[in-house]
Structure 1
Amino acid sequence: MLRWTAVRTGDSLPEEEYGRLLDLLPVKRRAEVRRIKDKKSACGILTAYALLRRELKLYHGISRPVIAYEKAGKPYLPEYPRLHFSISHSREYAVCAVSDTPVGTDGETVRALRDSLWRRVLTQSEYSWADGDPGRLFRLWTLKESYFKFTGTGLAAPLKSVEFTFGENGPVVNRPGVFAASALISDAAFGLCSAADAMPAGPEILPVEEILSVF
């Protein structure tokens, strides 16, 4: 089963909620969050992990997940080796994917960036398809990020090393056995890569209150 969910994060969390969610983080991430001066970024991380814990609790019966990290930084559940997850956050959204096959996801707020950046990360075919449209550009960006999260290698390889094309049935990646999904919702782009061939059209958007009410 593959579930793909997202939530719009707020500028801040109530102090009691902030502290409660901070205590739920893995020790490594908790220390990192405490060093973050930008409260909105910290809230994004807290919300992403809260979203993950909601999915694990409601759909897999896991109330207290132990999270470990591979050498390249990919998180995993050592007590549930057949269950895979990926989380991400931007300044506006947190996104989570949980599956019984390897998975990677990313979400970004659509905004204007320098053209020189896009030329560095997109292949010529991708750049031509996007045609300068911010929504398309970020759909490609989140797909590429999702792919490298899926592989667990991080950004060790150039972003141009993997290419996505868009057809009638959505995005296709030039890698065998990898399936992709992409969505543009409001002011955000979301990408998903998985070994599962049954892909959702987009993430289910949940209200932040629903995430917090689970704990």
Structure 2
Amino acid sequence: MKVYINDNIEKLDLPLALSQISEQRQEQALRFKYEQGQRLCVAAYLLLKEALAEQEGITENPVFEYGEHGKPFIIGHPELHFNLSHCKEAAVCVLSRRPVGIDVESIGRYRESVARYAMNDEELRLIAQAERPEIAFTRLWTKKESLLKLTGLGINDQMKSVLEGASSSWFTTIENIEKNYIYTVCEQ
């Protein structure tokens, strides 16, 4: 499994990139109020196009339909599973023939109120003991969200228990401290 990353979003030629994507994705991108959001949305889609061409020889623009909880799938290719994510610093994509989830997050200021909402007591203890709590929190958050994206459930009020029963072998976490983001891929 290969992760596709664009962490040079500022170099994206937005007008050119918009002309290279589906009308559906153009509309989605242009719903973002700020140009940075538009760039990230387009960049994630372009990564999917790259993955489809490289791994599957598919060169047409993918068009999405959405499952019950909003998880997208590619029309005409039910055998393919993909996931997209972006944060301020990067857009990421993963493509597989098995269910897969990915989440990328900026390493931000640690906020205990958010941690108390999303983390169980053991996770809170791990974060509190970490040399850099913001990194420990972001690592755990991306694991949880990547698993939720794999299942198609999305963020919900069961965040504290999301990782219960999950195997550590399902997750690959990469920390790019220099560029200020962490991503996790989840594949069962």
Q: Scaled by the length of structure 1, what TM-score is found?
A: 0.77
CA distance in 1 between partners of 2:12 and 2:160 (Å): 37
Letter in 2 for 1:59: Q
Shift of 1:77: 1.7
1:188 corresponds in structure 2 to: 181
- Closer, same or farther in 2 for the Cα pair 1:140/1:176, shift >3 Å? closer
Shift of 1:67: 2.3
Shift of 1:177: 10
Contact 1:9 1:47 in 2 (8 A): no
Deviations 1:157-207 (A, max 9, x none): 4211212xxxxxxxxx62379811212112211111112xxxxxxxxxxxx
2:147 corresponds in structure 1 to: 147
1:56 corresponds in structure 2 to: 52
The alignment status of 1:45 with 2:41, answered yes or no, reads: yes
1:69 to 66, 82, 85: 66
1:82 corresponds in structure 2 to: 79
Contact 1:142 1:191 in 2 (8 A): yes
Deviations 1:78-99 (A, max 9, x none): 3121111001001111111111
Shift of 1:20: 3.3
Contact 2:12 2:43 in 1 (8 A): no
Shift of 1:111: 1.0
CA distance in 2 between partners of 1:109 and 1:175 (Å): 24
**Identity among equivalent pairs (%):** 29
Letter in 1 for 2:173: S
Letter in 1 for 2:140: L
Letter in 2 for 1:147: L
Q: How does 1:104-119 map to 2 (within 5 A)?
A: 104-119=101-116
1:175 corresponds in structure 2 to: 166
Q: Scaled by the length of structure 2, what TM-score is found?
A: 0.87
1:200 corresponds in structure 2 to: none
1:101 corresponds in structure 2 to: 98
Deviations 1:45-91 (A, max 9, x none): 11111111101111210111232221311111231211110010011
Structure 1: stretches of 5+ with no match in the other structure: 164-172, 196-215
Higher relative contact order (CA 8 A, sep 6+): 1
1:162 corresponds in structure 2 to: 162
Report how many aligned residue pairs link the two structures.
182
Shift of 1:127: 1.4
User: Could you say what secondary structure the match of 1:11 adopts?
Assistant: helix
CA distance in 1 between partners of 2:162 and 2:169 (Å): 11
